[in-house]
Structure 1
Amino acid sequence: MEEAGAASDIVLEFKQDVALTEKMRRRVSSLQRSGQKRQDGERLLLPHEAVYRLDFRRQDLRFRRWNVSMGGRGRVTVTGISQHWTPDLTHLMTRQLLEPVGAFWRGAAAAAGDDDDGLKWLEADMQEFGERIAELAKVRKVMYFLVAFKDGAEAARLQCSLAFCSRQ
């Protein structure tokens, strides 16, 4: 999915937000220990998920492409979150998850070679998702994402970024 880009491309790397991921995991543990149920419509973090973020230094962006590299086989799903988090950790609600989601996958046969030739994705969804992120960047400095790792995919083997160009 990577391609040579123009020198003027603005590349933003997805970075795991370890502190926020841990807070969300503590929320799940707290509910389990106390025997309470989640709030109606609340979306709890699953064990195979982590919170990632994009920090926008500029707001006048036009989406160009996704840059994804995934070592080994597996499936990675990236879901955008419309919510701005506050220090008191406002609970994540299902209605705050954006459509479409980004999905990348590679089967066991393609994973034998460590290049990304066997990496697959839904091009139309990825284009729409990238354009939506660029639109949200107009009013945001930070955007959060839930990233799910399935079927053998691991955070340590994923590199994911977005390339934008300036609207000017």
Structure 2
Amino acid sequence: MAAKAGELKVPFIRDDQLTRCMRLRVQSLQQKNEKPQDGEKLLRPNEHIYRVNFIQQQNLCFLRWEIQLERSGKVTVTGTSQHWTPDLTHLMNRQLLEPVGIFWKKPGAMHVECNEADAQEFGERLVELAKIRKVMYFLLAFADGLEPAQLKGSVVFKA
């Protein structure tokens, strides 16, 4: 769906490089038989890093999520407070934001469903974060057979 006049549609962009680096961290720990840092969030195989680029940062008002799933399944979207730096600082559990957005599509369904109260609160938090960030990172966890290639997602704001 195209954004209407006065709307700013900010797409989720897969960050394959950052996802790959975070997977290498997991492999490195396993190969060295080491434990993660206290409170470190290690990427699971079904989790991928995405980002949104805020081309406008001020005077935004959250309108809606536009999540399209090509098949049935579930995706959990968790925002992070992490500012990634060139040394790829490890993601810590305390940097994962609440609430999360959970979106799902039942077999045979046409539309994606979500927990609307959490999705609304999450969207409103993004407005605050957009004021201080040009880029925000998200951890997306795919379940029930859903894969990253089967997702198209955006956050829509009133500009």
Q: What's the TM-score, normalizing by structure 2?
A: 0.95
**Distance in 2 between residues matched to 1:5 and 1:155, nearest whole Å:** 23
The answer to whether 1:159 aligns with 2:128 is no
Q: How does 1:6-85 map to 2 (within 5 A)?
A: 6-60=4-58, 61-85=60-84
2:34 match: secondary structure = coil
Once the two structures are superposed, residues 69-88 of structure 1 have per-residue CA deviations (whole angstroms, 9 ceiling, x without a partner) of 10111110000000101000
Q: Unmatched 5+ residue regions in structure 1?
A: none
The answer to whether 1:147 aligns with 2:140 is yes
**Distance in 2 between residues matched to 1:6 and 1:84, nearest whole Å:** 31
- Asked if the contact 2:42/2:91 (under 8 Å) is kept, the reply is yes
Once the two structures are superposed, residues 33-86 of structure 1 have per-residue CA deviations (whole angstroms, 9 ceiling, x without a partner) of 110011110000000010000001111111111111101111100000001010
What is the CA distance between 1:28 and its match in structure 2? 0.3
What is the CA distance between 1:5 and its match in structure 2? 5.2
**Distance in 1 between residues matched to 2:56 and 2:143, nearest whole Å:** 33
**Distance in 2 between residues matched to 1:164 and 1:97, nearest whole Å:** 22
What is the CA distance between 1:6 and its match in structure 2? 3.1
2:131 to 126, 131, 138: 138
- Asked if the contact 2:39/2:94 (under 8 Å) is kept, the reply is yes
**Distance in 2 between residues matched to 1:109 and 1:67, nearest whole Å:** 19
**Distance in 2 between residues matched to 1:5 and 1:141, nearest whole Å:** 20
The answer to whether 1:88 aligns with 2:87 is yes
- 2:134 maps to a residue whose letter is K
- Asked if the contact 2:3/2:9 (under 8 Å) is kept, the reply is no
Q: Which residue of 2 aligns with 1:104?
A: 103
Q: Once superposed, what is the RMSD of the aligned Cα atoms?
A: 1.3
- 1:81 maps to a residue whose letter is T
Q: How does 1:112-127 map to 2 (within 5 A)?
A: 115-116=110-111, 119-127=112-120
Q: Number of aligned residue pairs: give it.
A: 158
What is the CA distance between 1:107 and its match in structure 2? 2.2
